[in-house]
Amino acid sequence: MAIDYDKIMLLKSNDVEYSYTDNDTMLYALGVGFGRDPLNRNELNFVYEKSLKTMPSMATVVAWGAGHMRDSGINYLMVVHGEQRLKIFEPLPVAAEILVDSRVTHVIDKGADKGALLVTEVDIKEKKTGKLLCTLGGTTFARGDGGFGGPKSGAPKPHPIPDREPDIISELETNPDQALLYRLSGDRNPLHSDPDVAEAAGFPAPILHGLCTYGTACRSIVQEVCEYDSSLITQFDVRFSSPVFPGEKISTEIWVDGKEISFRSWVKERNVMVINNGKCILKG
């Protein structure tokens, strides 16, 4: 069934209620690799309630399921998460009741044999104060839904990576069971847990969630650039390039230009780029 452009552009919701606790905050941090060294006091601040901090990238899971992809009419067997964007206005509380607004902003027709791009935005507000905490932006690549007669342009432009050697290279291990832990933060797609489903999708084993790779890249910058002060990050955008398999090492190349941080991530053992066009903005 072809995409109905006029219908999909009307999809939106306002003030949908969600909540999360400090347990969810600690579970998310464990899911992106914090706490592997239980004596590392900097990491304990993300996984232990004594002085608990939140990761900016946790915004991608606190309202899991928000948005309108379920009602879009696209072929889910042919869907890929193409890009993730995040603007932080207030650091996420360690626990909160939140209100969520979501909308479709663009649907781009790349052609009958090239698919379509669906661009969405989600605002997350603190229910108690009404403060806008952050805005998530996402691009979904619907590979089987092009040719519906929609606009041909309007996709977000990728951030250019500097043409020089990186200033920092951060190498972080993932555990073989990491997808099984990360999925408890919301995304229970069996592609990340069931070997039979992964094989049917053409993979030799379950793959790591793209947003777990995103959170791992964020962890690299929190550690290497922010010295574990996660509140410094006000923007974190990526383009996904290829999946990671749990147990692989993620190497993130980082370029520091004042408050603008560029980055991309690789699995060097396979010589595969997994995140490209990364852009992080710091306060100040």
Looking at the annotation, which residues are catalytic?
187, 192, 207, 210
- Closest alpha carbon to 227 in 27, 43, 32, 94: 43
Q: Could you give the C-alpha distances from 133 to 43, 124, 203, 213, in angstroms and in order?
A: 23, 6, 37, 23
Alpha helices in 10-137 (DSSP H): 22-31, 41-47
**Residue 52 and residue 247: Cα distance in Å, rounded?**
27
The total of other beta-carbon atoms located within 10 Å of residue 190's CB is 14
| 213 SS3 class | helix
For CA atoms 266, 64, 230, 281, give the dihedral sign.
Answer: positive
